[in-house]
Amino acid sequence: MPISVLLTEAYHPLLLERLRREPRVIAHHLERPTEAELAAALSETHIWVMRGAFPVNEERLQAAPKLQVIIRAGSGIEHIDKAALRGRGIRLYSTPQANAIPVAEYVLAAVLMLSRRFLSAHHALRQEGTWMRHQSIGRELASLKVGIIGFGQNGSRTAHLLAATGAQVLAYDKYKAGFGGLGVQEVTLEELFEQVDVLSLHVPLTAETANWVNADFLRRFRQPIALINPARGGIVHLPSVVQALKEGRLWGAAIDTFPVEPPEKLSSEDAQALAFLRAHPSVLLTPHIAGLTEESERRLAEAVLLLLKLYLESVPDTQ
C-alpha cells in the first residue's frame, strides 16, 4: 500500500527529489496551502512533513484520520498539541540538529555588530551622513562575558563558537548539569545576572518561558547588557525591550523572532514596540533567518529523509 507524504511550506529541492524516487511513497507538496486545501490534503495523508506555519490541534487532526506521523522540519514544537497526538497514537519527530551551525554564526555576528558598534555607525553614516568615528569605539570579544541560556543543540554550538573567539562564555540550563568545559563555564541564573555583558537565548517556547524576558527579568542584571534572541519570539516581551533600551539597561539588541510571524498581525502593544525598535540605531532586526543557510536547509532535508527512511523500514509493505 502506498504511503502518502504531505510536505507543507518550503524545503531544499533534495527532499522532494528523493521522495519522488521512493516507490512506496506518494509525495505531495503544498508550499502555501489555504486552510481548505490543507484539510483536503490531510484527509489522505499518512506522514505530514511540516515547519511552523500551521498549528496542530484536535480540530486539525479531525481532518486527518489516516495520519500516523508528523515530522517537524526544525526544532520548535510549541505549535503542536502533543496530548492530541498521543490520544490518536500519532508519532512526532523533529530535526533540532540541522540548524545549530547557522544559529551559532548568527549570534557571533550579532555580538560583533553590537559590541563593535557597527550598527549605530552604519545608521549614522548612511541615514544621517554623520561621521561617528571616535564615537563608535567598541569592545573586543575577549573582553566580553557572554551568557547563554539553554544548552541544547543550538545553545551548546553557540557557546563553543563564542568560546573559540576568546569571549568568556557563561551558560545556564535549568534542566542540565555537568556540561561545562571547552571554554564554557556552567553557572546559575543568578551568576548570569551578576556577570554578563551579552545574553543569548536558546530555550523553547513553553508555558514556563512565554514572556519570560520581561521588565522584571531585565532589571535583574547588575549592568547594562545586549540581548540576542534567535530562539522564539514569544519568549521576549517586546515592550519591555523598548523600556530597557530607553532606560539604558540594554545597550543593544538583536531580535530574529517575533511573537507573531510575519509581524504584520502583532498586537497593538507589540506593533508600537516594533516601530520603536525599527528606528533604533543599536537594534538588529531580522526575519527569522538565524537558522537558515543553504547548507542548513540541505541538512534539514537529509534529516527528514533519514527519519522517513527509518519509519518506512519499520512499516511492512503490506500496510
pLDDT at position 119, please? 94
The set of cell numbers assigned to 167 is 569571549
User: Span 207-229, mean pLDDT?
Assistant: 98
105-137 per-position pLDDT tens digit: 999 999 999 999 999 999 999 988 999 999 999
pLDDT at position 106, please? 99
pLDDT at position 1, please? 79
User: Span 234-260, mean pLDDT?
Assistant: 98
pLDDT at position 11, please? 96
Domains delineated in the chain: 3-96+295-314 (3.40.50.720), 100-285 (3.40.50.720)
DSSP string, 92-122: EEE-TTTTHHHHHHHHHHHHHHHHTTHHHHH
Q: Judge whether residue 174 has pLDDT over 90.
A: yes
142-152 per-position pLDDT tens digit: 999 999 999 99
The rounded mean pLDDT for the chain is: 96
94-110 per-position pLDDT tens digit: 998 899 999 999 999 99
User: Span 11-39, mean pLDDT?
Assistant: 95
Task: Give the 3-state secondary structure percentages of the chain, helix then strand then coil, rounded to 5.
Answer: 40, 20, 40
pLDDT at position 53, please? 78
26-56 per-position pLDDT tens digit: 999 999 999 999 999 999 999 999 998 799 9
In angstroms, how far apart are the furthest CA atoms of the chain? 73
Give the pTM. 0.93
pLDDT at position 319, please? 52
pLDDT at position 316, please? 78
pLDDT at position 270, please? 98
User: Span 234-250, mean pLDDT?
Assistant: 99
Q: Judge whether residue 318 has pLDDT over 70.
A: no
**Residue 272: band (very low, low, confident or very high) from pLDDT cuts 50, 70, 90:** very high
User: Span 235-259, mean pLDDT?
Assistant: 98
C-alpha span between 265 and 244 (Å, rounded) = 24
- List C-alpha distances in Å: 254 to 108, 128, 311: 11, 22, 39
3-state secondary structure of 142: helix
Q: Judge whether residue 268 has pLDDT over 90.
A: yes
pLDDT at position 95, please? 93
CA dihedral of residues 78, 83, 86, 87 (deg, nearest 10): -140
Q: How many residues does the chain have?
A: 319
